[in-house]
Amino acid sequence: MAKKITMAGLLVALAMILSYIEILFPFQVGIPGIKLGLANLVVLTALFFLTPAEVFCISLLRILLTGLLTGSGIALAFSLAGGVCSFLVMLACYKSGLLSPVGISLAGGTAHNIAQLATAACLLQTSALLLYLPVLLLAGIVTGICNGLIAAKILKSKAVLILMNIH
């Protein structure tokens, strides 16, 4: 149990660091608060050796803690929407067994951004924001692929064996 909590803590911390790093990227789409979703890397990798409930907790914790430490209320709303949607989509893809980590991440990244945009459109009460959809989709595709490739590499490495031993 202690090992699990430690592991979970580490993963949340890692996800928060990734959240912070993505602020440094010049990703500006005119809607303040929209993020790239680099932290999905942690969620994605965790899906392979933790239960869905555990992964969801880690993701939620990360979002709430990061939201409290940085960003506005709106950014938190986007993060939540993006995080929840991408988690659900990635879980479904993982369970289906149809896609490799890259594909799962691709789906997750795209879902993450679509969810953010939809939330923005609702909160700001305007459909004009949908103009940003193509750019956000493209961004989601890229981050998805990047995260997926990194996750694939990690999952193939020896580190994973250690992680798997937690159960």
**Amino acid identity at 117:** L
Nearer to another protein, 93 or 163 (CB): 93
Nearer to another protein, 60 or 74 (CB): 74
Q: What is the C-alpha separation between 160 and 81, in angstroms, rounded?
A: 29
Provide CB contacts within 8 A for 114, sequence distance 6+: 85, 133, 136, 137, 140
Q: How far is the CB of 103 from another protein (least distance, A)?
A: 4
Q: What is the C-alpha separation between 35 and 32, in angstroms, rounded?
A: 9
Nearest of 18, 19, 47, 28 to residue 139 by alpha carbon: 28
Q: How far is the CB of 167 from another protein (least distance, A)?
A: 23
Which residues contribute to the site for another protein (CB under 8 A)? Answer: 26-30, 98-100, 102-103, 106-107, 110, 131-135, 137-139, 141-142, 145-146, 148-149
Q: How far is the CB of 139 from another protein (least distance, A)?
A: 5
Nearer to another protein, 4 or 95 (CB): 95
Q: How far is the CB of 60 from another protein (least distance, A)?
A: 26
Nearest of 43, 44, 38 to residue 24 by alpha carbon: 38
The residue with tokens 């993006």 is 82
Is residue 18 within 8 A of residue 44, CB to CB? The reply is no
Q: How far is the CB of 3 from another protein (least distance, A)?
A: 30
Three-state DSSP at 79 gives helix
Nearer to another protein, 24 or 134 (CB): 134
Nearer to another protein, 21 or 98 (CB): 98
